């Protein structure tokens, strides 16, 4: 990793792929990833780790199947994150990020965490099943 300051707007301009995170730095055993998103990701869960989201630009929604009050039948609900908002999806909770108008996000995840969690089949072509790509 580079031991210099990283300008996130410049880093985001360096790629166009959606749902294909770039690793901007590492903190201990965690990747700090940025991504551009639009449309829908897939329902998935991370059994061994929480997932931290920070919206840098735009608005991100996350569908959750966590059984919390306010959810529809089956315990589904949606949290809406405007620019500047943070949210943590707890480990083991099935979730689906989506953004109608597009967004730029920052995520903290343990190094090696797959973007599709427990999903290993039927991953649509617009979702990059990866553990993150190097920036630049």
Q: What is the CATH number of the domain that holds 79?
A: 2.60.120.10
Contact (Cβ atoms closer than 8 angstroms) between residue 131 and residue 115: yes
- Encode pLDDT of 98-128 as tens digits: 999 999 999 999 999 988 887 767 788 788 8
128 backbone dihedrals φ, ψ, rounded to 5°: -85, 110
Length of the chain as a residue count: 136
In a domain, 7, yes or no: no
Residue 29 belongs to a domain: yes
pLDDT given for residue 70 in this prediction: 55
Identify which of 60, 45, 57 has the alpha carbon closest to the alpha carbon of residue 115: 45
Alpha helical stretches, state H, the chain:
8-13
Does 77 score more than 60 pLDDT? yes
- Mean per-residue pLDDT for 67-88? 82
Residue 65 lies in a domain: yes
Give the count of domains, the chain: 1
Burial 77-99 (b: 16+ CB within 10 A, else e): eebebeeeeebebeeebbbbbbb
* Pairing of the two strands 76-81 and 86-89: unpaired
Domain with 67 in it? 23-121
Confidence band, pLDDT 50/70/90 cuts, at residue 10 = very high
Asked if the structure places residue 106 within a domain, the reply is: yes
In this predicted structure, what is the pLDDT of residue 118? Answer: 79
Residue 43 lies in a domain: yes
């Amino acid at each position: 990793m580079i031991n210099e300051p990283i300008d996130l707007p410049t880093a985001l301009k360096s790629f166009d792929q959606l749902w294909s995170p770039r690793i901007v730095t590492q903190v201990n055993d965690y990747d700090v990833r940025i991504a551009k998103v639009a449309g829908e990701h897939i329902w998935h869960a991370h059994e061994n780790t929480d997932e931290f989201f920070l919206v840098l630009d735009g608005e991100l929604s996350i569908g959750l199947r966590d059984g919390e009050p306010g959810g529809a039948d089956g315990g589904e609900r949606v949290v809406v994150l405007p620019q500047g908002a943070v949210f943590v999806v707890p480990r083991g909770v099935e979730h689906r990020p989506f953004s109608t108008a597009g967004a730029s996000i920052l995520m903290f995840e343990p190094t090696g965490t797959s973007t599709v969690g427990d999903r290993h089949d039927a991953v649509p072509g617009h979702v990059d099943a990866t553990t993150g790509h190097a920036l630049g």
